[in-house]
Amino acid sequence: MLKELLFTGVGVAAVLKEKVEEELTKLEEKGKIKKDDAKSFLESLEKKGKAEDDKIKDNLKTILKEIIDELGIATKEDLEKLKEELKK
């Protein structure tokens, strides 16, 4: 479910980027915006989007770790420690 949510977010971002690019191209063709300005705007938008994406992923990881701790679910690290103890 989480993967689907993340993929949906990526899909929405891709469609949004495409639409913004189309609108900027229209503005360029009408002479209402310079090509360099449009390019700069898109780069800025991408940079902010990536930063926001990273922030969301970090928050999601933190939340998932908290949920795992609250539920008492064994992590991969916990299982590895247990294996090592059982070998002794």
Q: Each residue of 11-58: pLDDT tens digit?
A: 777 778 888 888 888 988 888 888 888 888 888 888 888 888 889 889
The alpha carbon of 43 is separated from its chain's Cα centroid by a whole number of angstroms, namely: 17
Task: Count CB-CB contacts under 10 A for residue 24.
Answer: 19
Q: Is the pTM of this model over 0.75?
A: no
pLDDT of residue 5: 67
How is 10-25 classified by DSSP, letter by letter?
HHHHHHHHHHHHHHHH
pLDDT of residue 84: 93
Spell out the domain ranges in the chain.
Answer: 2-87
Nearest CA among 31, 51, 28 for reference residue 39: 28
Residue 9 has pLDDT above 80, yes or no: no
Q: Are 75 and 68 in contact (CB under 8 A)?
A: yes
